[in-house]
Structure 1
Amino acid sequence: MQIIKLDATESTNTYLKELSAKKELQDFTIITTENQTLGRGQLNSKWESENGKNLAISVLKKDIDVSIDRLYLMNVCVSLSILESLNQLNIPNLKVKWPNDILSGNFKIGGILIENIISGSKIKRSIIGFGLNVNQTEFKNAPNASSLKTIMGHNFNLDSVFYAIIENLHQQLSSPILTFENELYEKYHSQLFKIGVKSTFIIKKEELIEGVIEGVSKNGKLKVQIENGSLQEFGLKEIQLQY
């Protein structure tokens, strides 16, 4: 494991990706910063972060023996690792909102962005990015955002939070994750936001429907029992859960 701490960078994922293209890095090389200026979420959304108050982490994971049709298993493992870390910090009401948000109650406190390098039919390596709101208390452009400080009422030591996350992530990804696939999904579903609850969704970017989340498929699609009684699966760009 190698940890590289940066004073500032536009994106830890981009920095790690460019560094790995220039030279061979050891497995579980980590880039982290407290000042990520152009952090990205899914679909190129911007991650709002105040200098010195939050964490941005990217991890290079090599030699992943997972086929591309099981690609979402990486999200499952990373999500569970982060939830376990935050549980150890006594953060309440933790959930994962499909596909990549970490919530406390109804508020987003973290986000995951995994970028995979594919070789043939398998994932060759992954760059696992994670942003966590730690001590920031004001969010101008993210009405559903919160932070550990806002929720718990006190400041957190950024290094302590960082090492808690890295320890759990390393332990989780050091095991043969395919062997525990069903167990991991069962645990993931137990922490899935709004599972089993009648909710409102936007599909096709404009149509409102009501339905109940039944889970996430092995290929990462959201399974929703819609109001006409049919069970349908939706990809990332096809559906949006309304809070």
Structure 2
Amino acid sequence: MRIIKLDATNSTNSYLRELISQDIVEDFTIISTKNQTLGRGQMGTVWASESSKNLTFSCFKDVSGIHVEHSFYISMVTALAVLKTLQELAIPKISIKWPNDILSENKKICGVLIENVIKQSQLQASIIGIGLNVNQTEFDNLPQASSLKLISGKVFVLDEVLLAVVLNLKYYFEILQTGNLEFLKSTYETHLFRKNKPSTFKNAEGLMFSGFIKGVSNDGKLQVLLEDDILKVFDLKEISLLY
């Protein structure tokens, strides 16, 4: 494991992608920064983080042995690694909001942005960006955000949390590389936010509807049970879960 620490960068994912283009990067190379000025989230959202208070880092992972149709398992592994870390830190009521946000109760404490490198229809590498709210206590205009300190009342050492996340990433990637997909999927689904609870969704056209989250398909689409016992799958651009 190689860790490169930066005082500031626009995006750890972008920095790591540039590094990959220039040189051979060893597995589990980490780019960590105190201040990420242009952090990105899913669907083009912005990830805002107070300097030196949180974990903002990206991890390089060689995924050349994973079939491209199983690429969502990289997302599952990442979510499970963060979740396991938070369990070890005694953070209560943790769940995974599809596809890979981490919540404590209804509050978001971690976001993930995964960018896969694909060549000739084959997975080559993943750049796994993780933003974890650790010691920040004020989130202006973000009522659904929280942090480990707000939840637990404790101040955490960022390097210790980072190391724990990376060790758990290694643990779950080893399971993925052995081909035990069923274990990963069932564990991920066990922790899905609002699974089997009546929930309200909004589709791409802005129309609201109700359903029950049942799980995910092998390619990462959300399985929702609708009226008349119809099970329908949705991808990230087609649906959003409303609280």
**Fold conserved between structures, TM > 0.5:** yes
Contact 2:176/2:184 (8 A) holds in 1: no
| Farther off after superposition, 107-116 or 155-164 | 155-164
Shift of 1:229: 2.6
Q: Name the residue aligned to 1:131.
A: 131
2:195 counterpart residue number:
195
CA deviations 1:137-168 (Å, max 9, x no partner) are: 11113221000000001211111111111111
5+ residue gaps, structure 2: none
Q: Distance in 2 between matches of 1:206 and 1:63?
A: 36
User: What TM-score, normalized to structure 2?
Assistant: 0.96
Cα distance in 2 for residues equivalent to 1:198 and 1:63: 36
Asked if the contact 1:48–1:139 (Cα under 8 Å) also holds between the matched residues in 2, the reply is no
CA apart distance, 1:71: 1.1
Per-residue deviation, residues 73-100 of structure 1 (Å, max 9, x unmatched): 0011111111111111000001000012
SS at match of 1:24: coil
Letter in 1 for 2:37: T
Structure 1 match to 2:41:
41
Q: Which residue of 1 aligns with 2:62?
A: 62
CA contact (8 A) 2:76 2:100 kept: no
Residue 179 (structure 1) aligns with: 179
CA distance in 2, matches of 1:15, 1:194: 35
Aligned partner letter, 2:5: K
Match of 2:204 in 1: 204
> What SS class does the counterpart of residue 225 from structure 1 fall into?
strand
Q: Does 1:80 align with 2:85?
A: no
1:122 Cα deviation (Å)? 2.5
Q: Percent identity?
A: 47
Counterpart AA for 2:33:
T
1:47-82 deviation digits (Å, cap 9, x = unpaired): 110011001110111143222221100011111111
Distance between the aligned counterparts of 1:198 and 1:25, measured in 2?
45
**Counterpart residue number, 2:242:** 242
Cα deviation digits, residues 110-145 of structure 1 (max 9, x gap): 011110011233211110110000011111132210
Match of residue 91 from structure 2: 91
**Corresponding pairs, count:** 243
Shifted more, 63-72 versus 79-88: the winner is 63-72
Counterpart of 2:219 in structure 1: which amino acid? N
Kept after mapping to 2: 8 A contact 1:66/1:178: no
1:208 alignment partner AA: M
- Residue 204 of structure 1 deviates from its aligned partner by 2.2
Is the CA contact (8 Å cut-off) linking 1:35 and 1:51 kept in structure 2? yes
Secondary structure of the structure 2 residue equivalent to 1:174: helix
1:143 is matched with which residue?
143
User: Mind listing any 5+ residue stretches in structure 1 that lack a counterpart?
Assistant: none
Q: CA–CA distance in 2 between the matches of 1:10 and 1:109?
A: 21
Asked if the contact 1:199–1:211 (Cα under 8 Å) also holds between the matched residues in 2, the reply is: yes
- Identify the residue that residue 121 of structure 1 maps to in structure 2: 121
For 1:205 and 1:156, how far apart are their aligned partners in 2?
A: 42
The code of the aligned residue for 1:196 comes to N
Note if contact 1:205-1:239 (Cα within 8 Å) is conserved in structure 2: no
Tell me the residue number matched to 1:50. Answer: 50
